[in-house]
Amino acid sequence: MTSGLLLAFEGADGVGKSLQALALAEWLQARGHVVTLLREPGGTEFGEKLRSLVLDASVTGHDACLEALLFSASRRRLVLEKIEPALGRGEIVLLDRSFLSTWVYQGCVGGLSLDFLDEVSRLVHGKAWPQRILLLDLPEEERQRRREVREEEEDGFESRGAAYLESIAEAFRQLQAAREDLVHRIDASGSPEVVLERILTDLADLIFEVDA
């Protein structure tokens, strides 16, 4: 019986988080692991409702405090309904975004206290704390180029402009440097296959533990 593994993918918009989370899930599943892949905000019926409220570009008037509370509420529901049960079954849980996004978007950039957000995150996660967060990071030019070729409609956050998104990417880098124990930087440039190789190299110690 294994004790489960909780990992999160993070990074500014357009770095390929969702693609790599899916690629890792498939890689692990092909090797016999049971994997649950969840996105934030969302991942539960309750969370998806909050997601549409908080990301709808036409809904204005949210401040960083309200956003942090909504994202945290969605996250708490995810912990209770999906993460804790999956970890209890010894599964691997992969998160597409996590509380680190709240620390960056609503904390470093939105102005809320990081100590306060850290405390909220610990309350929300309880014992289901991630073993590692992988920060996918791209040089600014490459990140913008990738965003331009994406055809998706922008959400309320992405529509805040290039300078905003650049400050987000920089805040992720600063938090990674401050929390190297938890957050590892992955160079997200190159082909998806090359990036997945880097991710697997980084996770070699943790995936071995799950196999043991």
Task: Check residue 130 for interaction with ligand TYD (CB under 6 A).
Answer: no
Q: At what angle do helices 114-125 and 64-78 cross, to 10 degrees?
A: 20
**Which one of 13-21, 23-31, 129-137, 192-200 is the stretch in contact with ligand TYD (CB under 6 A)?**
13-21
Q: Which residues of 164-196 are buried (b: 16+ CB within 10 A; e: fewer)?
A: ebebbbebbbebbeeeeeebbbbebbeeeeebb
| Member of 101, 117, 120, 135 binding ligand TYD (CB under 6 A) | 101
Task: Check residue 9 for interaction with ligand TYD (CB under 6 A).
Answer: no
Q: Output phi, psi for 36, to 5 deg.
A: -115, 125
Q: Which residues of 147-157 are buried (b: 16+ CB within 10 A; e: fewer)?
A: beeeeeeeeeb
Residue 24 Cβ, how far from ligand TYD at the closest point, in Å? 16
Chain residues 38-57 in contact with ligand TYD, contact rule CB under 6 A: 40-41, 55
**Which one of 2-10, 95-103, 123-131, 179-187 is the stretch in contact with ligand TYD (CB under 6 A)?**
95-103
Task: Check residue 71 for interaction with ligand TYD (CB under 6 A).
Answer: yes
- What does DSSP assign to residue 2? -
Task: Check residue 157 for interaction with ligand TYD (CB under 6 A).
Answer: yes
According to DSSP, the β-strands at 132-137 and 35-39 are unpaired
Binding site for ligand TYD (CB under 6 A): 13, 17-18, 40-41, 55, 67, 71, 97, 101-102, 105-106, 155, 157-158
